[in-house]
Amino acid sequence: MKESALQSKIIKKLRDKYGELIDITNNHGSAMSAAGTPDLHICFCGIFITMEIKLPDRVDNGVTKKQTEPTALQNKRLIKLTNARAIAAVIRSAEDALAVIEIVNDNYNISGIDRDQQHVRRILKSFKIPVY
């Protein structure tokens, strides 16, 4: 599977589940976008979430083969977005993307008062979802 196919699958699952509560901007990595910009920018109930999509590791004949990792520039951009109070994560499956949104939904008071972002990041890390 290509990253673009995984990205399309993620977008479809998120839109199917959350409908009007979620807005997703797909960054196609064109010459017009800044280098290192994450693949998806999401606004979920007023909370900004950005996702860098990478293929999951695969196992061939019992040997785990590492797929791609974020580049240094992508990591720098994810950290910059986190410093601006975004939730930024590296996603390797549609299930990871759904988990991020569900954890945000469960740990923020969507009607107004946000819980501590560090708490949300700790929970995401407990699910082994890389966050920044």
Q: What is the DSSP letter of 56?
A: P
CATH number at residue 54: 3.40.1350.10
Does residue 53 fall inside a structural domain? Answer: yes
Total domains in the fold of the chain: 1
2 — pLDDT class (breaks 50, 70, 90): confident
Q: Kindly report the pTM of this predicted structure.
A: 0.77
pLDDT tens-digit map of 27-85? 876 667 788 899 999 999 878 999 999 988 777 777 766 778 899 999 999 999 999 99
Q: Which residues contact 16 (CB under 8 A, 6 or more apart)?
A: none
Is the pLDDT score of 113 beyond 50?
no
Does residue 117 fall inside a structural domain? Answer: yes
What residues does 42 pair with on adjacent strands?
Answer: 24, 49
Q: What are phi and psi of 23, to 5 degrees?
A: -125, 130
**Which structural domain range is residue 66 located in?**
3-126
Helices vs strands, H then E, count in the chain: 4, 6
Please give the Cα distance from 132 to 125 (Å, whole number): 10
Is the pLDDT score of 116 beyond 70?
no
Does residue 132 fall inside a structural domain? Answer: no
pLDDT tens-digit map of 88-107? 999 999 999 999 999 998 88
Does residue 17 fall inside a structural domain? Answer: yes
% of the chain surpassing 90 pLDDT: 52
Q: Quick one: CA dihedral 20, 81, 36, 98, positive or negative?
A: negative
Does residue 39 fall inside a structural domain? Answer: yes
